[in-house]
Amino acid sequence: MPLVPLPLPDPGSPDLSSPLGFLRWLGRAQRRGQVLATLWSTLELASMAALPVAIGRGVQAVVDHDTRGLLTAGLFALLLAAVQTTMTVLVHRQVVWNWIQAASQVRQLVARQASALGGGLSRRIATGEIVAVSSGDVEKIGWYVELTARLYGAVLAWLGVSTVVLWRQPGLGLAVLLGVPVLAAAVWPLLGPFERRYTEQRALGGKASELAADTVAGLRVLRGIGGEELFLRRYRAASQRVRAAAVRTARTWAVMQAQEVLLPGLFVIGVTWYGARLALDGAIGVGELIAVYGATAFLAAPLRVIGEAAHAWSVARVSAGRAVKVLSLTRDDLPAEGVRVEGLQGEGAAADGAELVRRASRSDLHDPVSGLTARAGRLTAVVCGDPDAAGELAARLGGWPVLAEGEAAKPSARLGGVALDGVPLATARAAVLVHDKEPVLLSGTLAELLDVPRSGRVDPAEALAAARAQDALEALVDGSPECAGDPMAARITERGRSLSGGQRQRLALARSLVADPPVLVLDEPTSAVDAHTESRIAAGLRELRSGRTTVVFATSPLLLDQADTVLLLQQGRVAASGTHRELMTGEPRYRAVVTRDENESVAEAGSVVRPAADPVGSGLAGGAE
């Protein structure tokens, strides 16, 4: 029986109308696996239920001194045992696969969502919440999907056993037919309290994960200021709250588990007692009594499955609600694929993504909110005193206007007159690449790091040279003896932790330069390097990106002096433009930001400011590595 390979080529488009709708969609997405698991489970339980019948017939044959009947019963029992063994293997294989496939499908959906929303995702939902959804929650959802097929099998087996017993012994059959639903319903009053307690535990766990992620990310800073103990106490307190909530949840679950053992046991005792009375009265034989006892005792298995399904349903609904919350986030007013965009191929024409990418290098990039315009084929620098505002504008230039809760929608940046949030995300990213302020290096070899979609105009060696990453290459070679001196075969550790901040920053810059997008937006690409290296990077960047549209957010004079045009942003709007030297000479507000001089007069005050002695400001470079 072939199984679907993972990861899936396309995780699909889920139903996000409600947690229940999402779970139903997930079940439909693997209908074939669910049908097979239900079939195998039904056959497994049916053979398990029929085995006492074969044993009872064998006992009755012994009582009646029927050798042929004993042999027939023995062969029947052997056949049932073989079927049960085979079905147990098949059902276990299939339900585990259903679990893995459902969990993988949800993980792919979350990963696709994180990739689609980019850096804006963390503005809408905590990082710890994303970690919790993609780890614990997907396991709970997968568990529920796995149990669904076994639940169907248990119900079908119960109906089958009830029908047979009802046919042979109406009184016992009626007890079996009605007793199981009553016992199953006994667990429902506990589901509400259990779900509320698990929801509380899940929320506290997400907060603890968020605190842990923040602590790990800032560990170096914490050590520098001696704050480890403070954050350790905070995490301990958060962890204890999670533990207390988990204990409360476990108490309710323990009562549910006890019910699953106690009530079926009492039911079996009652039915067996009634069957024994019938046997003593001569209404049924000894063999039939054994068969009735075995069939009744078998019903404990479906009851356990029903109880487990109730538990899985409670936790899966909470987890599905969290997943739906993450998956429901969208780019601001993002249209569907194939949306019609004005201005690309004529009024009202369908957007042709390939044409937009081809025209991108010859198109101006304009942001109507700030008034910023980056001219095609030129290096434009943007000076903004507020790093958060700069990061928001950089994201908007890339077409990712993901808003915080309650934040009003803003017009999208436009490339050649086309709104970037009005085209498919893949098209927007192929035209405009935003290099984040804190890029992440994934583990693997350097060759794998630089193996990104690219135009082919820039090879990795040129990109590394422009980023002045030679010392980073040497560090990688020193840390990877197995690479035999080849930097491209050297391994990068998780998030590049074996490298310095400046080395990581330059390798990430090289990755963006290799991609060679028509429009490249860089947010403080040299903030972690020394002045000498920054000067060389600025020259290399200008040379390598010649003829391409490049926007650099920076306050370093070394970078600003290489720009064709420098724009000053004040209160979210372009307040001045010119070259770096012109603005240093004639624009006090610009000089105040670049020189970081809080006492510098501003033009709005109408004061005359004496020009700086060094308009280039080459000695005021960014922080040292």
What's the pLDDT tens digit per position in 133-185?
877 788 889 888 888 988 898 888 878 877 777 776 676 667 666 776 777 67
Cβ atoms within 10 Å, residue 536:
17
Q: Determine the Cα–Cα distance for residues 575 and 592; give it in Å rounded to an integer.
A: 13
DSSP letter string over 296-308?
A: HHHTHHHHHHHHH
Q: Which is nearest to 115 in space by CA: 526, 442, 388?
A: 442
Q: How confident is the model at residue 40 (pLDDT cuts 50, 70, 90)?
A: very high
Q: How confident is the model at residue 608 (pLDDT cuts 50, 70, 90)?
A: very low
Q: Determine the Cα–Cα distance for residues 298 and 402; give it in Å rounded to an integer.
A: 55
Residue-level pLDDT at 214: 64
Chain-centre distance for alpha carbon 433: 22
Mean pLDDT of the chain, nearest integer? 80
Q: How confident is the model at residue 220 (pLDDT cuts 50, 70, 90)?
A: low
Phi, psi of 336 (to 5 degrees): -75, 165
Q: What is the 3-state secondary structure (H, E, C) of 324-386?
A: HHHHCCCCCCCCCCCCECCCCCCCCCECCHHHHHHHHCCCCEEECCCCEEECCCCEEEEEECC
Greatest mean pLDDT among 80-94, 111-125, 202-216, 355-369 lies in: 80-94
In terms of phi and psi (left: phi > 0; alpha: psi -120 to 50; beta: otherwise), the region of 226 is: left
Q: Determine the Cα–Cα distance for residues 247 and 268; give it in Å rounded to an integer.
A: 32
Residue-level pLDDT at 292: 67
Residue-level pLDDT at 371: 93
Residue-level pLDDT at 522: 94
Residue-level pLDDT at 620: 37
Greatest mean pLDDT among 151-165, 449-463, 491-505 lies in: 449-463
Q: How confident is the model at residue 613 (pLDDT cuts 50, 70, 90)?
A: very low
What's the pLDDT tens digit per position in 586-603?
899 999 989 876 555 444
pLDDT exceeds 50 at position 31? yes
What domains can you pick out in the chain, each with its CATH number?
19-327 (1.20.1560.10), 353-605 (3.40.50.300)
Q: Which of 55-69, 114-128, 388-402 has the lowest mean pLDDT?
A: 114-128
Residue-level pLDDT at 268: 73
In terms of phi and psi (left: phi > 0; alpha: psi -120 to 50; beta: otherwise), the region of 623 is: beta
What's the pLDDT tens digit per position in 253-268?
788 778 777 777 777 7
Within 13 Å and on the Cβ side, how many CA atoms surround 227? 13
User: For the chain, what percent of residues have pLDDT higher than 90?
Assistant: 25
**Strand arrangement of the beta sheet that strand 519-523 belongs to:** 432-435, 519-523, 549-553, 379-384, 565-570, 573-578
- Burial grade of 67 (CB within 10 A; 0-12, 13-18, 19 or more): exposed
pLDDT exceeds 60 at position 65? yes
Buried b (16+ CB within 10 A) or exposed e, 170-182: eebbebbbebbee
In this prediction, residues 222-244 reach a mean pLDDT of 75
Question: Which amino acid would we find at residue 593?
Answer: V
Phi, psi of 238 (to 5 degrees): -65, -40
The Cα-based distances of 572 to 367, 382, 416, 593, 623 in angstroms read 11, 12, 22, 14, 25
